[in-house]
């Protein structure tokens, strides 16, 4: 057996077995009675890590909007203030281990974020207002330069840091609902298409409809006056 074949091999797919215990497989070449044999070695992963991955995955599944941040250089008091603002906006803001977040994303087959899971990582999860995480983070960054946006997810799709900052300029859920009321007299087919569109398209669509209604109102007023 060549010398290079005597090192250990680790499998890439660790099956989940038992009560919350994960086993990964390692193989090593050993000599037994003069014969080289391939021996299977089982290495257990702590139950705590399994539960942590499950928790991250559950949050990802529920949240239509997710933002990854780098909090390096932020002191405890500032971090506490940020968490408070997040909580008031209905956002869960959790510091995560990159390896566990990667595993949760892999299980969900979500691509694009692995390269951003390096260094300190805290993730903002929003289950109510998809725009809220971006809005709170971008606003906080004006005073706290150390906070950085890494990337995000919108409806489980990758969003760059620039895209997250663009989301911060979109109106809140409450404003969108108010605008829905204002454009509800628009053709039902148009409104139905908006309801089935992604959140960002809904925001832009409602804004376009609102402006259209304003223009129609101004034109009608000008016609009446003449």
On whether residue 18 sits in a domain, the answer given is yes
C-alpha 166/C-alpha 203 separation (Å) is 12
Could you tell me which residues come within 8 angstroms of residue 156 by beta carbon, excluding any fewer than 6 positions away?
A: 60, 108, 110
* CB 89 within 8 Å of CB 132: yes
CA angle 68, 73, 75 (to 5 degrees): 100
Which backbone phi and psi does 151 adopt, to 5 degrees? -175, -175
Are 52 and 140 within one domain?
A: yes
Are 157 and 182 within one domain?
A: no
pTM confidence score: 0.61
On whether residue 224 sits in a domain, the answer given is no
Are 54 and 111 within one domain?
A: yes
Are 187 and 124 within one domain?
A: no
* Ordered DSSP codes for 70-135: E-TT--HHHHHHHHHHHHHTTEEEEE--HHHHHHHHHHTT--S-GGG-SSS-EEEEESS-TTHHHH
Domain that holds residue 29: 8-45
Position 11 scores a pLDDT of: 42
* pLDDT tens digit sequence for 154-199: 889 999 999 999 888 876 666 655 555 554 444 444 444 544 445 5
Question: Reduced to 3 states, what is the DSSP secondary structure of residue 213?
Answer: helix
Are 102 and 205 within one domain?
A: no
Are 52 and 19 within one domain?
A: no
Are 64 and 136 within one domain?
A: yes
On whether residue 220 sits in a domain, the answer given is no
Are 53 and 39 within one domain?
A: no
On whether residue 222 sits in a domain, the answer given is no
On whether residue 22 sits in a domain, the answer given is yes
Distance of CA 198 to the CA centre of its chain: 15
Position 47 scores a pLDDT of: 84
Are 161 and 54 within one domain?
A: yes
CATH code of 72's domain: 3.30.70.1730
Are 198 and 92 within one domain?
A: no
Helix (H) or strand (E) holding 60: helix 47-62
On whether residue 157 sits in a domain, the answer given is yes
On whether residue 1 sits in a domain, the answer given is no
- Domain boundary among the residues 149, 167, 185 is at 167
- Domain boundary among the residues 152, 167, 182 is at 167
On whether residue 2 sits in a domain, the answer given is no
Place of tokens 């000599």: 31
In this prediction, the residues of the chain whose per-residue pLDDT falls under 70 are 1-45, 171-226
Position 204 scores a pLDDT of: 53
Q: Which of these, 83, 89, 95, lies nearest to 59 by C-alpha position? A: 95
Position 96 scores a pLDDT of: 96
The structural domain count of the chain equals 3
Are 67 and 146 within one domain?
A: yes
Are 191 and 137 within one domain?
A: no
């Amino acid at each position: 057996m060549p010398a290079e074949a005597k090192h250990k091999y680790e499998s890439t797919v660790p099956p989940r077995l038992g009560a919350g215990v994960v086993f990964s497989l390692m193989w090593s070449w050993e000599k037994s009675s003069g014969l080289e044999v391939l021996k299977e070695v089982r290495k257990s992963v702590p139950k705590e890590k399994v539960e942590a991955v499950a928790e991250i995955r559950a949050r990802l599944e529920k949240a239509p909007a997710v933002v990854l941040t780098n909090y390096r250089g932020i002191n405890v008091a500032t971090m506490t203030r940020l968490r408070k603002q997040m909580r008031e906006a209905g956002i869960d803001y959790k510091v995560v281990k990159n390896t566990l977040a990667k595993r949760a994303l892999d299980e969900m087959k979500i691509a694009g974020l692995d390269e951003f899971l390096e260094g300190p990582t805290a993730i903002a999860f929003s289950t109510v207002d998809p725009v809220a995480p971006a809005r709170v983070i971008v606003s906080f960054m004006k005073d706290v330069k150390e906070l950085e946006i890494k990337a995000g997810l919108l409806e489980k799709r990758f969003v760059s840091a620039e895209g997250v900052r663009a989301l911060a300029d979109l109106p809140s859920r409450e404003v969108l609902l108010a605008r829905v009321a204002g454009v509800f007299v628009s053709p039902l087919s148009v409104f139905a298409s908006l309801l089935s569109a992604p959140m960002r398209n809904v925001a832009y669509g409602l804004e376009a409809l609102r402006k259209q209604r304003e223009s129609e109102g101004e034109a009608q007023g000008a016609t009446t006056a003449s």
